[in-house]
Structure 1
Amino acid sequence: MEFIYSHNLTVDGREILLHIWDVPNSQEQAEDGSSEEKRIQWADSFVLVYSICDRASFNILPLKIQFIKAAKEGQSQEKVPIVIVGNKRDLHHQRVVSSEEGRLLALSLDCGFYEVSAAEAYHGALMVFHGLAKLIPDTKLALKKGTGIRGIVKTMSAVFARKRTDSL
């Protein structure tokens, strides 16, 4: 299932409201490319997560990043903020993707890189979003400031060309 989360974050004295659209990889693979492209148009930045215990989740990243960059950078000259995150660092005994592989991939694709354990503590995820927020241009942040749940629903409805039927 997909979820949208909102989170306020203060980075370098800037108050940032993040709207996080969490789409499981298995769902993306089952859909056509147009739905994924609509999600890409909605977002200003991207966090792509793979499991250090799952080579397939790592191997799909270059294609996803290429797809994102083609869709976003064709519209703008700005660099697309993308962070690659290796998750499940606590399962190092089951590791099949080394930290070095993750770092090299991120470097070769001009992305940020983190390795975390979401199961151990929230600090790793917080570090990822702080790093991502530093990559987002101030102009993008100013446009999104103050957007609440209604704004999210309207934006998503516009992205998917559906009329709002809720009564928020």
Structure 2
Amino acid sequence: MAPPRDRKLAIMGYRSVGKSSITIQFVDNQFVESYDPTIENTFTRQFKLNNQEYRLHIVDTAGQDEYSLFPDSYSLDIHGYILVYSVTSAKSFEVVKVIHDKLLDMVGRIKIPIVLVGNKTDLHLERKVSTEEGQKLAQTWNAIFLETSAKHNLDVQAIFKGVIMEIERQDGNLPEEKKCIVS
């Protein structure tokens, strides 16, 4: 069997959108109710996809805002990005756009493996950002889009599967997805 592929991922977004909750749900299969602002943590988890073992190193970043300066480490040796906003916060949705633009500038490439995540769907009565808005934004970035609830472990695995598939596709290890148009 092939040795595990090391992949380093950065999970980024505005403060309190659930970056750590998503990460801990994926790594430890638990939801942490209490909120402590993250400075920066790195988590590791083995993950198998398409008969290939991956060793994921997930950098859980501090919450960013539109004025945050990103450390160079957010562009060096990072294979893929998970950009998170809360569906209950229009501000977090605006900030994720700024983060995306800064990432492209910093990385110096037009296309980077990204999954856009609208978190906190369990708070549907407080929703401020529609599914359609998220889908539209992801489409303009040519990124994968998912809505999730870290609390209910809804599609948390799919986030990491999606970013790995995007990395592999851009590395030439998977064929480009065929866009099917039916008329």
What TM-score do you get using the length of structure 2 for normalisation? 0.66
* Alpha-carbon spacing, 1:127–1:63, altered in 2? closer, same or farther (3 Å): same
Query: Which residue is 1:148 aligned to?
Result: none
Query: Which residue is 2:49 aligned to?
Result: 11
Deviation at 1:41, TM superposition (A): 2.0
* Alpha-carbon spacing, 1:104–1:81, altered in 2? closer, same or farther (3 Å): same
Identity of aligned residues (%): 28
Q: Which runs of 4+ in 1 moved over 3 A?
A: 28-32
Q: Following superposition of structure 1 onto structure 2, how do residues 14-163 of structure 1 map, counting pairs within 5 Å?
A: 14-25=52-63, 28-29=64-65, 33=69, 35=71, 37-74=72-109, 79-121=111-153, 123-137=154-168
Deviation at 1:31, TM superposition (A): 8.0
Report if aligned partners of 2:122, 2:149 keep a CA contact under 8 Å in 1. yes
- AA aligned to 1:48 is L
**Which structure dedicates a bigger proportion of its chain to helix?**
1
* Alpha-carbon spacing, 1:61–1:29, altered in 2? closer, same or farther (3 Å): closer
What TM-score do you get using the length of structure 1 for normalisation? 0.71
Deviation at 1:42, TM superposition (A): 3.5
**Which structure dedicates a bigger proportion of its chain to strand?**
2
Partner of 1:41: helix, strand, or coil?
Answer: coil
Partner of 2:53: helix, strand, or coil?
Answer: strand
User: In structure 1, how many angstroms separate the alpha carbons of the residues matched to 2:168 and 2:84?
Assistant: 22
Unaligned runs of 5+ in 1: 143-168
Superposition RMSD on alpha carbons, in Å?
Answer: 2.4
